[in-house]
Structure 1
């Protein structure tokens, strides 16, 4: 199983000051009670989506240190024994030496331990013989302490369930730890123990959720001994650094450890609850390992059996949580559209990303941040949201640290003074995780961004189709550069818009964001097109790389997993690719053989538009020539100009017989490749503004055949001849390249020019 998002919940999340923990337990121990009690903390007032725990609330929680810092959690089950997760201690199939680990008991903050914190060396680490990887189960470990812990108000053992113990599905339990508060977002100082309430999910419900394709189309087969806890809608979960810590449930006034934090697909993601090692099935193994210890772990009899009917049916219909973001009644009616109103400036367009935060270009405000201090007039700023009768006040402005010098980071977050009710008209847009891969062919739209002008023309002209990563990367990348694989940050996102192909409009004075739809849900995929060349597909800076920053600042923005997984041909998107070299003759680099002057390429035609522009055409039949749309039509115009086509010339002189255009249809510059029999085949039309990338002509065969009956096509058994390596080959799979732009074909019907 891919490990890309399968996260054993262990990471070096925090590093306390060296020497911060002193072993206060080395002094003479106090007298232990005659009967070891368990699961009863001192009375007190009462992680992802969690909150600070009160001191003494979870006295069995321990911190496992390696190399001077917290690595995993654990639970005290007896004075000399700690229960944790096996994956914390097994590296590449090898169990790490016990002498390298220490256990901190009775700590509430990792920054400054309170009085009564104890440190113990580890004498032995025991894991089940059948443990190999977290997703294969048996992820638990026992640590024998070199010296027993001193029990007291801050250090007490938790109760363990017997093998027959049953926890009712839906029971509210608690997980604790010092792990990350979000993915890749460590717990901030002073590193106080976190607690989060999670509900137990039955095996059938959990398996149903994990059978739905999730991040990178991964599913999971739950195994015996695994336990799920969380919520279908996500947002509350354990995370890296919480591994090995306890999941405890209260029964009859005692706390029983139901699970051990094991792994998850990310943290707090929708339909991806946390997976824990169930403790009850391992009663016999635990008893066997601790045999002879006095006192040992306590396995109280269950206070009461689960209520009748609480057992989950085997055939259960689970409820899949749907995204809470990215819903629009129709394209163009964006319920997350936000206008930031700054006194003395034009409105700055952004997007609502959570109940309390708006994302917008930092360039709208950089002149107000030049001093490095928050703007003085922030109290006068307002944010307009759809269907809100009053503008919202702004409490804080957080620009991206690289916003002033890097266009790709031209972002700022504005916190609203009061959260908005998302059950009403304003709705947040979905944001992509860093590994999100927008599939070639995704349907996208433009939305206003920054201080750009409104879109010209009807909204239908804003619709686009996303090009494949190979095309986009190589248009703007360097020759020979490796193309990012799905899941790696892309260089850019390139949509092919109808307005560029048909209306010929160029919106250089406007700023846009790119919205792409997956399964009816809209994602903010890219910001600001960085191309000033109207003849190339528009390119946007991808938003994926900024997901962690947005999540860290907002602690509540709607980052959503990928929803569409129509990858096309098997393995097509995961093959390593590089950009073709730039040559005088384009990507193919096909050099013509010696030929008589003037008939170098007998099918080439010169298309003269209104006497001042010349582009290349291809003779595809006695009366038909293909030519480039952007060569025929001026930008912003739909009027067909006067056109002359010259055949049988390749820059030769004198001019051959001219032909006058009598009918207009569509075309683009050509890519020609040679068959084994020596014939040349029109394989593609150059992508707008590029001599290296081409749109395949093959998919247009039916339309061309219908329009030009005498056009000749390569037989199905025929194939182009690819010259030896080193000759700058055409991409062999050009005709089926995923996400390649469609060839937009203008066919020119010729009539002889009447000479006066």
Structure 2
């Protein structure tokens, strides 16, 4: 159906007796479709009644490759736990089409009771999605996932053998993803529609067969009195403690330093492709794999490498600097080694997530104490705009991000800018660790660091490995205010990142990143504001004594305004500047406090030419980007910062007295 309209039957045909769609069609034959019938109450798959009858223009030629299936009567009861089979030519896994020669696939699934299935689908999945299992639906699969039907299998049969006959228990209908944990496949229960099927085919000869259900034998599984709903836990991402990573892998290549990667399945290790690219051979990876070894935790011997698969964009795209190494012998997964969890493309790592930095590539051991590797994930808007382009649209939750920014302390211990790729980003959700990001952006000393997100590469990893542990999002606590879902754009940009960005997690009035303490002559402290890396703006009346033209001894402290008390004997002389937040979310300096007042401010706008000529890198908003002045109460200009914002008109009549101090 398209837009509620049944498509013409003449546009459809049925090919019978096919096993390989690209192979010989011996015994196969085609029949035109004379009519298509669907239940009157069908609207969409999630609401049930997802079945159709196609009347052939002429009967099929029955034989060994073409034979009708038995249909169950309405009274037919398929025992929960029964092993049944689903078949189809659909994707072999999510976003991974069936390759040539398109041979018919089959998967063994176990029937799940309605109560069990409803319990599993009542657990919040990606974006808190749950599902109501309705009458006429049937579930089959496994709580742990890994085996399932997939896109392109819809309409195919789910058949169960009873008494030597195959009954069609279900019709492949829908599911969330393919083979995801606690998300079994949902099928149309054929038995529910016996009366409807009989009504539609009445008068047809021969009609479908509804044999009586065979009698159960002692070997048949018994119907459980009560169904147990056991939520399957992730089989990946469990570490005894942060830093003791059971998936840590070291790839040993003769003549090179060890390359650190991560075990992602029983047979595959993920690592940076740059470890293995030979600059002298046009970025072609070496092929002498016999001498390569992989060291895994608690393994008595090193693993041998059978194959190296590098990402097709690895040689020119830092975000795709990935390679997969196929181990010759699969490892038995246990507490160690254990694979790390990988995110699906729609995974949204929540701001505030607890993360760690782990060794990646050919990096040296971590410097400083273990706490050095702790990190907290920042908001997507803040991170994207710091490294993105001016005016760029910020990806919404569920869209693959361009960057992941963890906040962590490093400069005090390391004393340099980490410009190599020795770290990956591990983030924890409900006790489970995900490999969230790989290597950091080439960003000089700009802070915080940004990592390339891994979720964009989930389909590639899954396609190559056919067994990597991609796991659904586990944490959904967006807080009382939820998460920003409206489209946002990025503020003005300089070579040092976006201006006007403030960490959302910081309390109002504390650690505004552009505020500076200007200490004058040892006892006075003025409020300054950072305009560019080399320039701070402050009020003249605070810095200079009345009638004096001599500049006193001045020290400027950055990054601590409002976070700590002033030294004994010091007092804040000038009022805070006036900052206003635009509707896009970034902050703009509107005025500097007039001497002796907390309500009147000297406007910054009229001094654009003078400030631009002096500083050069100060960034002014275009007229269309001016802050929004609310008519009523608003937190765009918080009283904690400016006490009272004053009248916008009054600001323009004030004289701007400023002094630029080069730090």
TM-score range, shorter chain: 0.7 to 0.9
Alpha-carbon contact 2:390-2:498 (below 8 Å) kept = no
1:654 to 527, 545, 549: 549
**Residue 357 of structure 1 pairs with residue 264 of structure 2:** no
**Residue 441 of structure 1 pairs with residue 336 of structure 2:** no
SS in structure 2 opposite 1:129? coil
1:475 maps to what in 2? 386
Alpha-carbon contact 1:649-1:655 (below 8 Å) kept = no
In 2, the alpha carbon distance for the partners of 1:350 and 1:583 equals: 35
**Residue 296 of structure 1 pairs with residue 207 of structure 2:** yes
In 1, the alpha carbon distance for the partners of 2:187 and 2:550 equals: 80
In 1, the alpha carbon distance for the partners of 2:414 and 2:544 equals: 30
What does 1:222-233 align with in structure 2 at a 5 Å threshold? Answer: 222-233=133-144
In 2, the alpha carbon distance for the partners of 1:665 and 1:215 equals: 38
How far the C-alpha of 1:331 sits from its partner, in A, is: 0.8
Distance change >3 Å, CA 695–CA 454, structure 1 → 2: farther
How far the C-alpha of 1:258 sits from its partner, in A, is: 0.4
2:463 maps to what in 1? 552
2:45 maps to what in 1? 134
1:534 maps to what in 2? 445
In 1, the alpha carbon distance for the partners of 2:343 and 2:396 equals: 16
SS in structure 2 opposite 1:143? strand
How far the C-alpha of 1:479 sits from its partner, in A, is: 1.3
Q: Cα deviation per residue 1:255-313 (whole Å; 9 max; x = unaligned)?
A: 00000000000000000000000000100000000001111000000012598994455
2:98 maps to what in 1? 187
Alpha-carbon contact 1:160-1:257 (below 8 Å) kept = yes
In 1, the alpha carbon distance for the partners of 2:477 and 2:128 equals: 10
In 1, the alpha carbon distance for the partners of 2:635 and 2:379 equals: 13
1:728 to 626, 643, 649: 626
How far the C-alpha of 1:507 sits from its partner, in A, is: 2.2
1:667 maps to what in 2? 561
SS in structure 2 opposite 1:524? strand
Alpha-carbon contact 1:355-1:428 (below 8 Å) kept = yes
Structure 2 length as normaliser, TM-score? 0.79
**Residue 511 of structure 1 pairs with residue 422 of structure 2:** yes
Q: Cα deviation per residue 1:153-206 (whole Å; 9 max; x = unaligned)?
A: 000000000000000000000000000001010011111101110000000000
What does 1:275-294 align with in structure 2 at a 5 Å threshold? Answer: 275-294=186-205
Alpha-carbon contact 1:580-1:728 (below 8 Å) kept = no
Alpha-carbon contact 2:48-2:136 (below 8 Å) kept = yes
Cα RMSD after superposing both structures: 3.7
2:656 maps to what in 1? none
Distance change >3 Å, CA 575–CA 568, structure 1 → 2: farther
1:455 to 341, 348, 366: 366
SS in structure 2 opposite 1:579? coil
In 1, the alpha carbon distance for the partners of 2:349 and 2:635 equals: 21
In 2, the alpha carbon distance for the partners of 1:191 and 1:664 equals: 64
In 1, the alpha carbon distance for the partners of 2:580 and 2:366 equals: 31
In 1, the alpha carbon distance for the partners of 2:488 and 2:544 equals: 34
How far the C-alpha of 1:532 sits from its partner, in A, is: 3.2
**Residue 411 of structure 1 pairs with residue 322 of structure 2:** yes
What does 1:133-172 align with in structure 2 at a 5 Å threshold? Answer: 133-172=44-83
Q: Cα deviation per residue 1:487-520 (whole Å; 9 max; x = unaligned)?
A: 1111111111122588765322452111111111
1:326 maps to what in 2? 237
Structure number with greater CO (CA < 8 Å, separation at least 6) is 1
Q: Cα deviation per residue 1:723-749 (whole Å; 9 max; x = unaligned)?
A: 99724338987799xxxxxxxxxxxxx
1:262 maps to what in 2? 173
Structure 1 length as normaliser, TM-score? 0.69
In 2, the alpha carbon distance for the partners of 1:121 and 1:303 equals: 35
In 1, the alpha carbon distance for the partners of 2:482 and 2:558 equals: 40
2:649 maps to what in 1? none
2:288 to 364, 377, 381: 377
2:343 maps to what in 1? 432
Distance change >3 Å, CA 282–CA 655, structure 1 → 2: farther
2:572 maps to what in 1? none
2:475 maps to what in 1? 564
1:66 maps to what in 2? none
SS in structure 1 opposite 2:315? coil
What does 1:595-634 align with in structure 2 at a 5 Å threshold? Answer: 616-617=516-517
SS in structure 2 opposite 1:256? strand
What does 1:673-692 align with in structure 2 at a 5 Å threshold? Answer: none
Q: Cα deviation per residue 1:696-735 (whole Å; 9 max; x = unaligned)?
A: 9xxxxxxxxxxxxxxx999xxxxxxxx9972433898779
Unaligned segments of structure 2, at least 5 residues: 502-513, 534-538, 564-574, 590-596, 600-620, 639-663
How far the C-alpha of 1:533 sits from its partner, in A, is: 2.5
How far the C-alpha of 1:659 sits from its partner, in A, is: 7.0
SS in structure 1 opposite 2:135? coil
Distance change >3 Å, CA 149–CA 501, structure 1 → 2: farther
Distance change >3 Å, CA 215–CA 187, structure 1 → 2: same
Q: Cα deviation per residue 1:407-445 (whole Å; 9 max; x = unaligned)?
A: 111100000000011025111110000010011111111
Alpha-carbon contact 1:206-1:273 (below 8 Å) kept = yes
How far the C-alpha of 1:586 sits from its partner, in A, is: 7.9
Alpha-carbon contact 1:646-1:656 (below 8 Å) kept = no
2:567 maps to what in 1? none
How far the C-alpha of 1:534 sits from its partner, in A, is: 2.1
SS in structure 1 opposite 2:175? strand
Alpha-carbon contact 1:178-1:192 (below 8 Å) kept = yes
2:395 maps to what in 1? 484
How far the C-alpha of 1:682 sits from its partner, in A, is: 6.2
Unaligned segments of structure 1, at least 5 residues: 1-89, 590-613, 633-644, 670-678, 686-691, 697-711, 715-722, 737-756
Distance change >3 Å, CA 619–CA 92, structure 1 → 2: farther
